[in-house]
Structure 1
Amino acid sequence: MKFFKLLSIFILAVSINSCSVYNFTGAKPVDGKTFQVNYFQNNADLIEPGIERRFTIRLQEIIQNQTNLDLTNSNGDLLYEGEIVEYRITPMQATASQTAAQSRLTISVNVRFSNKNKEADNFERRFSFYRDYEGSSLPTGSVLNDYIDEIFERITQDVFNESLAKW
């Protein structure tokens, strides 16, 4: 009985100690208290209205939900900025009648990350993801919004992992 009590205390101590290195979302402790996400401009050749605002808000939300950092409008310890550089629809597979059997929506975002307290973490990188869909239909309305949300979910998680989780 005493062995199980000691084992439980040991496991609890190791668990508490390990939480100081990573939290439950995988983010490492950050040398800062605030973060800032500047508005991401849409510089893609093909413009889908409103996606720049949606991406900016989505990035703010993921950082707020997965860290204890405070969002600020200026002088953030961590700074995210950049632009949407690609919004493209391409046919992926052709049918016998020379029409697209499958098409792909691709969105790419160039992100510049700066950490005031640890400049070694700074980076500029292009993040991209896509969504394949039936080639005979062009997604519009809520279907297109769902596709964009799916792509932004992946891109923002990749940005988070690169900047804060170091994966």
Structure 2
Amino acid sequence: MKLFKFVLLFISSLAILGCGAYSFTGIDTDAKTFQVNYFQNNALLIEPGLDRDFTNALTDLILNQTNLSLVKSSGDLIYEGEITTYRISPTTATANNTAAQNKLTIAVNVRFYDTRDEENDFEQTFSFFYDYPGEAQLIGSQKDSAHEEIFERLTQDIINASLANW
């Protein structure tokens, strides 16, 4: 019985130590700092505060999912770009030619720079949408929920494209 406990403890210790050296996110551990430059809203339809909220959402997600430190300049990893699309469009119609469902689409053009390895640099557009009932107005908590859901997907896609080196 003592031998069994010893073997179990030994295997558990190896498993815990082994997981500590491996990053499940695939994040390059050579980078120490990052900066997120302000994402200006260049969409035809301007939603006040969208640029600030998106910039903060990307910054917060990187802080929460990595051990990188946020800096204002000279970061190892640099994110910049602009919001290019903010569009509300009907997706389905009723018999009365009214929208049964609407779609909010937000697209962001991102330029990513890895100052330590230029081969990792890219410029890419990320886009996601939120469907909501046609009779609903995209205001208040409905709009906040839509923005949160879209930002969650966009920022995760950006992190995956820039930091997940599988």
TM-score (norm 2): 0.91
Matches within 5 A, 1:2-21: 2-21=3-22
Q: Report the Cα offset of residue 141 of structure 1.
A: 2.0
Structure 1's 118 and 44: CA in aligned 2 closer, same or farther, altered over 3 A?
same
| Residue of structure 1 equivalent to 2:164 | 165
Matches within 5 A, 1:64-143: 64-143=63-142
Residues 63, 160 of structure 1: 8 Å contact kept:
yes
| Residue of structure 2 equivalent to 1:28 | 27
Residues 107, 127 of structure 2: 8 Å contact kept:
yes
Q: Report the Cα offset of residue 27 of structure 1.
A: 4.1
Q: For 1:127 and 1:111, how far apart are their aligned partners in 2?
A: 8
What amino acid sits opposite 1:138 in the alignment? Answer: Q
After superposition, the C-alpha distances for 1:29-52 in whole angstroms (9 at most, x for unaligned) are: 332211000000111111111100
What amino acid sits opposite 1:30 in the alignment? Answer: T
What amino acid sits opposite 2:136 in the alignment? Answer: S
Residues 92, 103 of structure 1: 8 Å contact kept:
yes
Residues 21, 28 of structure 1: 8 Å contact kept:
no
Between the two proteins, the alignment pairs up a number of residues equal to 165
After superposition, the C-alpha distances for 1:59-107 in whole angstroms (9 at most, x for unaligned) are: 1101111111110000000000011011011100000000000000000
Residues 94, 101 of structure 1: 8 Å contact kept:
yes
SS at match of 1:85: strand
Residues 36, 71 of structure 1: 8 Å contact kept:
yes
After superposition, the C-alpha distances for 1:135-159 in whole angstroms (9 at most, x for unaligned) are: 1222112221221111101111111
Structure 1's 30 and 164: CA in aligned 2 closer, same or farther, altered over 3 A?
same
Residues 109, 126 of structure 1: 8 Å contact kept:
yes
Moved over 3 A (4+): none
Which runs of 5 or more structure 1 residues have no equivalent in the other structure? none
> What is the root-mean-square deviation in Å for CA atoms of aligned residues?
1.6
**Identity value in percent:** 51
